[in-house]
Amino acid sequence: MSAPAPSRRALLWARRRAAWGEFARIYAQNRAGLFGLAALAAAALTALCAPLFIDAAELAVTGGPGGRFEAPSGEFWLGTDAFGRSVLAMVVWGARISLTVGFLAAFVSVALGTVIGILAGHFGGWSSNLLMRVTDWFLVLPSLVVAVALAAVMERSTLTIILAIGVTAWPATARVVRAQTLSVEARPFIERARALGGGHLHVMKRHVLPNVMPVVLAQTTLLVAEAIVMESTLSFLGLGDPSTISWGGILQEARNAGAISSGIWWYMVPPGLAIALVALSFTLCGRALEGVFNPRLRERR
Amino acid sequence: MTAELQKSTPQDGPRGAGGGARPEGEPLLSASGLSVAFTGRGGRGTARAVDGVDLDLHAGEILALVGESGCGKTTLARTLLGLERPTAGRVLFEGRPLAYGTRALKRYRHRVQLVQQDPSGSLNPRHTVYDAVAEGLRIHEGATADEERRVADALSRAGLRPPERFYLRYPHELSGGQRQRVVIAGALVLEPEALVADEPVASLDASVRGEILRLLLDLRADLGLSALVVTHDLGMAWNIADRVAVMYLGRVVEAGPVEEVLAEPRHPYTQALMSVLPESGAGEPQVLAGEPPDPTRVPGGCRFHARCPVLASGEAERAGVDTACRTQDPGVLSGSGPARVACHYAALGRGGD
Amino acid sequence: MSTDEGARAPDAAQGPDPAPLLRVEDLRVDYRTAGGRAPAVRGVSLTLEAGSKLGVAGESGCGKSTVALALLRLLPKSARVGGSVLLDGEDVTAMRWGRLRAVRWAGASIVFQGAMHALNAVRRVGDQIAEPMLLHGTAPPGGTQARVAELLESVGLPRWRARSYPHELSGGQRQRVMIAMALACEPRLIIADEPTTALDVMVQAQILRLIDELVAGSGIGLLMISHDLSVLADTCDRLAVMYAGRVVEEGPAAEVVAAARHPYAAALSAAFPRVGDPASRMAPRGLPGDPPDPAALPEGCSFRPRCAVAEARCSSTDPDLWAAGDGGRRAACVKVLEEAV
């Protein structure tokens, strides 16, 4: 044999690197997407490194280093809350929970939506009809209400929030993935795979999945934004885990402390801005990814 | 012509196309009374895409199935591969009816392979050439130690040499002819006994077309591979096929050795098809009026009678078969029987020979 | 360029008509691509007399469709066009926008391949046929309806078909509608780009016969572009075979097909077998290799890498079209020049 296996693998990696380079080049043409990516990287880095410059003890209700409702100053850049804790430290710390919940919940819902979408698209017939009716049913249910109900009956923990969001946010993904699956299934290479003897699993795993992945990836980034907003909403409504700090949780405390009526803006605005900024960044990234994967969309820009 | 033919065909395998004799022995793959009907949406009637077909493909034989679009030739090919279930009749492989269980079908598809019309669409754009060719092996045998050797083998057999240069290419980096070779390599890697090729060169450039057809002939000579080639192109049948079957509206209307059928077509439909070939030089072209007919409304009597130039010219009336043409179905042409043509008028001519 | 001289010589020998319907001189088209400019057409000269039929043959990517589009300036913005296109003596490449619009339907019209996509799916075909007449103010005083019916009948469709939508028609019928549209403003030149590709043999025969009849009586010039040499040989008077953006052989259609002088034209004509010809029985013939990448053409003759009879000198000389026999036959091959001398 003239081509030993390692060289084939090395070549394959070289090709993958080239493909990624091309991907990065096209992505970089979208300025908004770059901005979103930079903002996300900054947020993720801050969240990861938070323990290095924030003492967790100072975030306990009893351990606030400052006075009650101190206005922004040199020591506390964004002032303090009702318990004398630094709002800046809380917002930074809150990013950890908000981002984790956002990612995990989006992952759960996208995984669920992808599996259901591909199954419905691949099999067709009554099973597809059944799956899509269930999807429609979930789609028209007000997801916030379902999440509230779920979060209310289950234990109040971060996991509950993740599940509540994951279980209610999947129908949109399922719809998109099913549509994409149908268009992939109509292409001749699916028939070739079947004529080669490939079973359902083979067709779905080796042919449909790789071809719906771009859509799924773009959908994921959009869903992370949605999940972060939803987590904040649930926490704001008091359904979050009371022992952790999240952006929605800070907003809820601010409301409880009467921050709105007493004009303590530094308690409300920073977490609110953080939510908006991160959600926006994810959306921008998602749009940019869609553009990379769908050249027609790129041209229209 | 006979000498030419024998030179280019392998020594083994049942032969006999040259002298007009029929291939003998058990056919490898055959259709027996095969019908496939599709129910239209919203109750628009049933389309009888394949409407009673007997057809035999012998080992080492290349059979061309010729017809216009909508005549059911592609449906027939798909049914022979088990991709479509017949509504009546059977598909027989080595004399045994095709079983439609998952395992049985998988085993069958190890031995009979499909080559599709559009090579650009029939390769997954996200798979490399190596993956596309190895796919069949992985489906049937999982990861094997000699996978790379067999892939290299299949690629060079299909004319992609040296094979290593193509391993990591993606379909969009290949020309149309190279893509079709990859598809053929993907079929060869399983060492099948028969190929079913649906318009294998219709979407390729003229210069590439001949190369792919020659590949099919070489594979038959080297491996004894049989092929059913579905096409609308009589020139292609002349180029590579031993036997030809002409299909019209779900039925085979004329079948036989290529030299006989194309040199002396008996069915008026075959005659018309032959006459409109560019540069045929076969006198005045008989351009049939009207569009290809609709399989949801198969006419009674002979299904060709509404467009038949022999009936329209009064020739059939003079021969006294016009009533039969309009009211009597000429019947299903047997896959290997002596009759060559399903036509009342031509049947008279046979008696006169 | 010596191509120009080569183009004029046979015309002078042949042409009694001083102003042909269409005269393309040294047409050049480049496309802007990621890797610089790629030449798609490299100096093509063609002449078409009124009432005659010229076929342009070649593989995909040889530049034949680019030529068709360049004739009416329908190329995308990334294309750069050189040379001249004289339609009835008037240079299309130098026309003002308003004049060009008038010429596009009334002077010359195009029948595209793939009639499915060229027709608007949500409008009745009668309205679509009438559209060019309304746009160009050539509608008869009594309204377009009678003229549409007349056009439909001339292409072999019943007049009530004017009320149909494209999806209600078969492929052949849609191609007939396209032809009726092209005829609407009574053009002097019809450019047919693969008019029968993707149609069945029988329908193809119908359409070719229709085109033949329409052109025969009317003095319309026909420029037909196809990859199928046998179709062109049957329909056209003269034939030009293109390879890698150039005409490599030109002459009376039947002669070019029967006895091509350029090896590429010979290979192309052998690729379409004649049923009944013992030489092609069980012997399909093609051409190994692929057409060259326009951005990286080989040195010397661009056909050399695929040529079965190439010699050492072919890698240094890029031959122009030379006279290669009677009837204005020309071929771009060093061997032809040799025989002529």
CATH of the domain at A135: 1.10.3720.10
Show the tokens assigned to B111.
């031995």
Q: Are B113 and B45 in contact (CB under 8 A)?
A: no
Q: In the prediction, which pLDDT does B12 show? A: 39
Closest among B275, B274, B252 to B340, alpha carbons compared: B252
Q: Which residues on A lie below 8 Å from B149 (Cβ)?
A: 1
Decide if pLDDT at A199 tops 80: yes
Report how far residue A137's alpha carbon sits from residue C19's, in angstroms, rounded to the nearest whole number.
73
Where does the pLDDT of residue B337 fall: very low under 50, low under 70, confident under 90, or very high at 90 and above?
low
Percent of chain C's residues with pLDDT above 70? 93
Q: Which of B103, B123, B135, B151 is the best substitution to test chain A (most A C-beta atoms within 10 A)?
A: B135
Each residue's pLDDT tens digit, C181-220: 888 888 889 898 888 877 778 888 888 888 888 888 778 8
Q: In the prediction, which pLDDT does A65 show? A: 78
Q: What's the whole-number mean pLDDT along residues B106-135?
A: 90
Decide if pLDDT at C142 tops 50: yes
Q: In the prediction, which pLDDT does B338 show? A: 64
Show the tokens assigned to A57.
């003890």
Closest among B257, B296, B258, B253 to B272, alpha carbons compared: B253
Show the tokens assigned to A137.
């049913």
Between C142 and C91, name the one with better pLDDT: C91
Each residue's pLDDT tens digit, A19-46: 888 888 888 888 888 999 999 999 999 8
**How far, CA to CA in Å, does C174 sit from each of A189, C149, C196?**
29, 15, 11
B236: helix, strand or coil: helix
Q: What is the CATH number of the domain that holds C124?
A: 3.40.50.300
Q: In the prediction, which pLDDT does B289 show? A: 73
Q: Which of B106, B124, B169 is the best substitution to test chain A (most A C-beta atoms within 10 A)?
A: B124
Decide if pLDDT at B108 tops 90: yes
Tally B–C CB contacts below 8 A.
Answer: 133
Decide if pLDDT at B150 tops 90: yes
Q: What is the mean pLDDT of chain B?
A: 84
- Least confident piece of the model among A74-83, B125-134, C250-259: A74-83
DSSP states of B17-72 as a string? TTTTPPP-S--SEEEEEEEEEEEPGGG--EEEEEEEEEEEE-TT-EEEEE--TTSS
Q: In the prediction, which pLDDT does A6 show? A: 52
Percent of chain A's residues with pLDDT above 70? 95
Decide if pLDDT at A127 tops 60: yes
Where does the pLDDT of residue B44 fall: very low under 50, low under 70, confident under 90, or very high at 90 and above?
low
Each residue's pLDDT tens digit, A227-267: 888 888 888 888 877 788 888 888 888 888 887 788 888 88
Give how many domains chain C has, as a whole number. 1
What residues contact residue A175 under an 8 Å CB cut-off, 6+ apart?
A: A117, A135, A139
Decide if pLDDT at A297 tops 70: no
Q: Which of A8, A192, A208, A215 is the best substitution to test chain B (most B C-beta atoms within 10 A)?
A: A192
Report yes or no on C294 lying in a domain. Answer: no
Contact C283 B1 (CB under 8 A): no
Q: What is the mean pLDDT of chain C?
A: 83
Q: What's the whole-number mean pLDDT along residues B85-109?
A: 91
Report yes or no on C212 lying in a domain. Answer: yes
Report yes or no on C116 lying in a domain. Answer: yes
Distance (Å) from the alpha carbon of B100 to chain C's nearest alpha carbon: 34
C206: helix, strand or coil: helix
* Main-chain phi, psi angles of C288, to 5 degrees: -70, 160
Q: What is the mean pLDDT of chain A?
A: 84
Sheet (strand C53-57) strand order = C108-111, C189-193, C221-226, C53-57, C238-243, C246-252, C330-331, C322-323
A6 touches chain B (CB under 8 A): no
Decide if pLDDT at C171 tops 70: yes
Could you give the count of Cα atoms lying within 13 Å of A76 in the half-sphere of its Cβ?
24
Rounded to a whole number, what is the largest CA-CA distance in chain B? 71
**How far, CA to CA in Å, does C196 sit from each of C34, C39, C60, C227?**
33, 28, 15, 11
- Least confident piece of the model among A278-282, B12-16, B319-323, C285-289: B12-16
Q: How far apart are the first and last CA of chain B?
A: 23
Report yes or no on A125 lying in a domain. Answer: yes
Where does the pLDDT of residue C158 fall: very low under 50, low under 70, confident under 90, or very high at 90 and above?
confident
Q: How far apart are the first and last CA of chain A?
A: 49
Q: Mean pLDDT highest for which of A223-237, B93-107, B199-213?
A: B93-107
Give how many domains chain A has, as a whole number. 1
Decide if pLDDT at B171 tops 80: yes
Print the domain residue range for C311.
Answer: 2-273+299-340
Print the domain residue range for A261.
Answer: 95-301
Q: In the prediction, which pLDDT does C246 show? A: 92
Q: Which residues on A lie below 8 Å from B109 (Cβ)?
A: 195-197
Note every long-range contact of A189-192, with CB atoms under 8 Å and residues 24 or more positions apart, other chains counting. Answer: A189/B121, A189/B122, A189/B123, A189/B124, A191/B83, A191/B114, A191/B116, A191/B122, A192/B114, A192/B116, A192/B122, A192/B123, A192/B183, A192/B186
Residue of B nearest to C231 (CA): B278
Report yes or no on A71 lying in a domain. Answer: no
As assigned by CATH, the class of the B47-253 domain is alpha beta
Q: List the single residue in B9, B214, B291 with the smallest CB-CB distance to C284.
A: B214
Report yes or no on C99 lying in a domain. Answer: yes
Each residue's pLDDT tens digit, B248-272: 999 999 999 998 898 888 899 999 8
Percent of chain C's residues with pLDDT above 90? 15
Decide if pLDDT at B6 tops 50: no
Between B315 and C240, name the one with better pLDDT: C240
Report yes or no on A80 lying in a domain. Answer: no
Contact B113 A195 (CB under 8 A): yes
Q: In the prediction, which pLDDT does B220 show? A: 93
Between B96 and C120, name the one with better pLDDT: B96
B192: helix, strand or coil: coil
Q: In the prediction, which pLDDT does C187 show? A: 86
Q: Are A142 and A150 in contact (CB under 8 A)?
A: no
Report how far residue C136's alpha carbon sits from residue A52's, in angstroms, rounded to the nearest whole number.
76
pTM: 0.81
Domain ranges of chain B: 47-253, 263-281+292-352
- Least confident piece of the model among A151-165, B262-276, C12-26: C12-26
C74 touches chain B (CB under 8 A): no
Q: Which residues on B lie below 8 Å from C202 (Cβ)?
A: 68, 272-273, 276, 287-288, 292
Q: What's the whole-number mean pLDDT along residues C71-82?
A: 87
